[in-house]
Amino acid sequence: MGNLKPYTGSFQRPELLHLLRRTLFGVNQDDLRHFANLTLAEVLNLLVPKTPPLPTRDEEKPLRAYFSNPDPKLDTMEAYLNDKGEQVFAVEWGKTWVDTAIPSNVITNPANSRHVSLKNWWTGKMIHQEQTAYERMVQFYQTVLSTESSVIGDPNLAYFLQNLFREFAFGNYKALIKKITLDPGMLIYLNGYLNTKAAPDENYGRELQELFTVGKGPGSGYTEDDVKAAARVLTGWKVQRRVTGSNVLPYTYFSAASHDTNPKEFSAFYGNRTIIYDTTITDKGTFESVEERRAFMEMEQLIDMIFSTEEVSRFICRRLWTFFAYYDITPEIEQEVIEPLAEIFRQYNDDPDQLQYVLKAMFGSEYFFKQEHRGCMIKSAIEFHVGIMRMTQFPIPDVNKLDAQYYMWGVIRAYNTNAGQDLNDPPNVAGWPAYYQVPSFYELWVDTASYPVRKSQYEALARNTFSIGRNLVYNGTSSPSFDFKVKYAWFDFAARFDNPGDPNALIAEACELMLGSPLSQDVQTKLKTNYLLGGQANDHYWTDGWDAYKADPNTSIPEGKRVPGVLQELFMYLMSSAEFHLC
């Protein structure tokens, strides 16, 4: 095993594009200008910073942009009757529902609307992401630590789980696992709250090892007895659900009567370790009871024991490589990339910024920039649709038009779902098969069922006018969102290019920005002639038309009038190409 070889080659626009395609959701001209003329090290410092703080202000969290009736007087969503028989709202329109339980006597249950609100909000966070890999890491965690909001039930718990991904985006993986093990949403999802000494439930103990840490690779040697022992370690942790009539959110608590206090023995894979319930501890510390503190320390012993194996580092580094770089982990990649990357992971095993070091090393490695690892991955549904919105800088309304903002986020969220990636609701605890299913991996994103869906949806984004009707805005016509109407202006997209009046430069930059793999000069020339020049021979035919339209969008000059339509058809043609689905 050697050191991970750093990339020492040329770091120009092609290399920057490759790096940004893998770390952002789509790339636009502003992204390229933001990172222009920087070294690879300088770019990585911006892309992989310290984990930012969690949202604290209510307006930064998912908001109530849903209702049962656009007339506020008739709206019953989030409404209940108080002691005086008056209709009041648990959450007012435009306020966050986070940290607010659903009243037991609610008139119209908002649980599903809150789940959709969270999905739309998360989609918006991706579309409006800052120029860092933060949102991509949040998505990465959902592919490894997968949960289904439809199974968890409580939308607050789904939000809190996602916040763990945000809290540890570039942080310490072991610390994340310790927190998520006792998270109430995870306890519900994998039946941890049902795990008792009288009836041990092995669900979480199994997935903890198989899917979250050790994996099922060739070096994995944990046994069925290890699964059972892990389940016994984690007995007694419960979820207290909302008491009828109160506003108490579900939370984790410990039941000493349900905890197995006997020693738990593990196999040779874990060094024949025995985890004990330490009765010498007599001070409850910050816990509710001495018994809870002892059980908590057992849980920490279990996680520390699992992370003491080298296989955890290999497992997570393989998942990072297949998510960000390429799915085919050859013996060479295992030896030259995974092993040294895993060593970095272990070196920073207890560092709060552990994954920051790992990601910078991976993104800055020689193997990450090899030609065979560029333009070779099929975009997921989320990467595809969110990428279009970011690449085109689609004009989504701000919070002043809340209905319209959430409506457009919801359009993209629905597009992702239609194409096979329902955010926050993967198929099962293993996540979406495209991230782990050997040997197909990313090829599973596009098939005879999903490709026509993608096609109809990118054509809709390119051609359709999006508007919001009375039934979709709160407070009827008085809502500013009712004024929302947008048809994407492809002229605005091209106008951000460096030299759009030059047909050769426009074609070259469009192909470079939009396509995951390069087109030959011959093909680019044909695109120029067929679209921009309309079959003409001279480049000035396009330049004259561009200048005329730029000077006056209502121009009567024939060459100028055709510009918007020509651009739309050109960019739609590029989106129809196989290369547009690659990154």
**What's the 3-state SS for 229-277?**
HHHHHCCCEEEECCCCCCCCCCEEEECHHHCCCCCEECCHHHCCCEECC
Whether 247 shows a pLDDT value over 70: the answer reads no
Is the torsion defined by CA of 508, 514, 518, 523 positive or negative?
A: negative
- Range in 6-15, 132-141, 472-481, 484-493 the model is least confident about: 472-481
Strand partners, 265: 274
DSSP one-letter string for 144-209: HS---HHHH--HHHHHHHHHHHHHTTTS-HHHHHHHHHT-HHHHHHTTGGG--SSS---HHHHHII
Q: pLDDT for 95-140, tens place per residue? A: 999 999 998 889 999 999 999 999 999 999 999 999 999 999 999 9
The 10 Å CB-count burial string (b at 16+, else e) for 478-517 is ebebbebebebebbebbebbeebbbbeebbbbbbbbbbbe
Q: What is the pairing mode between strands 87-89 and 79-81?
A: antiparallel
Please give the pLDDT value at position 258: 98
Contacting residues for 24 by C-beta, under 8 A, at least 6 apart: 31, 129, 131, 133, 136, 390
Q: In percent, how much of the chain has pLDDT > 70?
A: 99
Rounded Cα–Cα distance for residues 556 and 571 (Å): 24
Q: How far apart are CA 254 and CA 242, in angstroms?
A: 16
Structure confidence by residue, pLDDT tens digits, 402-427: 999 999 999 999 999 999 999 999 99
pLDDT value at 243 more than 60: no
pLDDT of res. 1: 44
Peptide bond into 439 cis (omega under 30): yes
Instruction: State the pLDDT confidence band at 52, using cuts at 50, 70 and 90.
Output: very high
**171-216 pLDDT tens trace:** 999 999 999 999 999 999 999 999 999 999 999 999 999 999 999 8
Distance set, CA 293 to CA 254, 282, 284, 307, 407 (Å) = 9, 9, 6, 21, 46
Angle at 550 between CA 546 and CA 552, to 5 degrees: 120
Q: What residues have CB less than 8 Å from 394, skipping those under 6 apart?
A: 127, 388, 408, 461, 488
pTM of the model: 0.96
User: What integer pLDDT is reported at residue 244 of this predicted model?
Assistant: 52
Burial of 100 per CB tally in 10 Å (0-12, 13-18, 19+) = middle
Ranges of each domain in the chain: 13-47+312-373, 490-581
Question: For residue 466, what is the enclosing H or E element?
Answer: strand 465-467
C-alpha 303/C-alpha 213 separation (Å) is 9
The structure tokens listed for 451 are: 């490709």
Query: Residue 477: pLDDT band by 50, 70, 90 thresholds?
Result: confident
Question: Residues 386-396: pLDDT tens digits?
Answer: 999 999 999 99
Write down the pLDDT at residue 246: 56
Q: Which two tokens stand for residue 111?
A: 């649980």
328: left (phi over 0), alpha (psi -120 to 50) or beta: beta
Q: Which helix (H) or strand (E) holds 306?
A: helix 290-307
| Residue 465 pLDDT exceeds 50 | yes
pLDDT, mean over the chain: 96
